[in-house]
């Protein structure tokens, strides 16, 4: 289960944070893939052909291969259960022949599913349109799937030591995405130079220094400015 899932992840390694490849277990890894693409835990059959006219499916499609995948709910159910059998437990001492037979039967069922998934000839793979942005804070690549962007414009750097926050805005009819680091700009109290501070750091008591003249500042309070709503449909 691990080998198959990681093969799937590695096929998309450049779209995935290295932290995930190093530390995640299959159910979490597949869950993460599902955030990119809702069909990431489903198999697919791939056909390809040359388009005679751009954008119109070819009338001579050739079979390329088939990918079979573990379903997330199946992985969740069996990954830990199989893992538990690898460890010695007090309970295993008292196992009678009947329960050993039922474990054998269970494990054969799991093996059948693993064999079925291995029958696919495209081993790693999932399909999604992704956008990349180099994080301005940690210089790692942030990868966001089109599917995620349809749900939210709030994107967090996938590096767990960074987690910088961005506002992501599709542009050019969805062909590009503009990532804007969520910052608030303050003017230096002495030299008026602009000092950008990440919104997630903003709090009363935060101290920051002007990069131009080194004057130290401290946030003393916060203020929301509001006004009466303009009534537009007055009769
Ligand atoms: Zn980052
Ligand atoms: Zn200054």
- Express each pLDDT in 83-136 by its tens digit: 888 776 666 555 566 688 888 899 999 999 999 888 887 776 656 678 889 999
Q: What does the pLDDT average to over 39-61? A: 82
Ligand found nearest the CA of 143: 1
Does residue 108 share a domain with residue 40?
A: yes
pLDDT at residue 192, as a whole number: 96
Instruction: Evaluate if residue 235 carries a pLDDT over 60.
Output: no
Distance 195 CA to ligand 2 centre (A): 8
pTM exceeds cut of 0.85: no
Does residue 111 share a domain with residue 92?
A: yes
Distance 140 CA to ligand 1 centre (A): 6
Does residue 93 share a domain with residue 199?
A: no
CA distance 161 to 195: 23
| Nearest Cα to Cα of residue 2 among 78, 97, 103 | 78
Instruction: Give the count of domains, the chain.
Output: 3
Tell me which residues have their CB within 5 A of the ion that is ligand 1: 135, 137-138, 157, 159, 162, 164
Does residue 114 share a domain with residue 85?
A: yes
pLDDT at residue 217, as a whole number: 96
Number of Cβ within a 10 Å radius of residue 58: 13
CA distance 103 to 111: 12
Does residue 177 share a domain with residue 114?
A: no
Does residue 84 share a domain with residue 39?
A: yes
Does residue 213 share a domain with residue 147?
A: no
- Residue 38's domain comprises 2-47+63-118
Ligand found nearest the CA of 179: 1
């Amino acid at each position: 289960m691990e080998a198959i899932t990681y093969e799937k992840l590695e096929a998309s390694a450049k779209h995935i944070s290295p932290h995930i490849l190093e530390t995640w277990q299959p159910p979490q890894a597949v869950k993460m893939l599902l955030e990119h693409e809702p069909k990431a835990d489903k198999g697919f059959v791939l056909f390809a052909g040359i388009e005679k006219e751009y954008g119109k499916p070819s009338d001579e499609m050739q079979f390329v291969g088939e990918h079979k995948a573990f379903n997330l709910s199946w992985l969740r159910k069996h990954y830990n259960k199989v893992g538990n059998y690898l460890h010695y437990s007090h309970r295993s001492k008292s196992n009678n022949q009947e329960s050993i037979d039922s474990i054998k039967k269970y494990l054969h069922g799991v093996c059948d599913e693993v064999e079925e998934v291995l029958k696919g000839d495209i081993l790693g793979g999932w399909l999604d349109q992704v956008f990349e942005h180099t994080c301005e804070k940690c210089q790692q690549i942030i990868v966001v799937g089109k599917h995620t962007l349809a749900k939210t414009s709030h994107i967090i750097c996938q590096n767990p030591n960074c987690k910088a926050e961005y506002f992501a805005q599709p542009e050019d009819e969805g062909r590009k995405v503009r990532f804007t680091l969520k910052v608030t700009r303050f003017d230096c109290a002495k030299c008026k130079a602009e000092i950008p501070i990440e919104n997630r750091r903003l709090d009363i008591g935060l101290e920051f220094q002007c990069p131009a003249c080194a004057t130290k500042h401290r946030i003393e309070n916060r203020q929301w400015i509001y006004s009466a709503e303009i009534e537009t449909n007055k009769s």
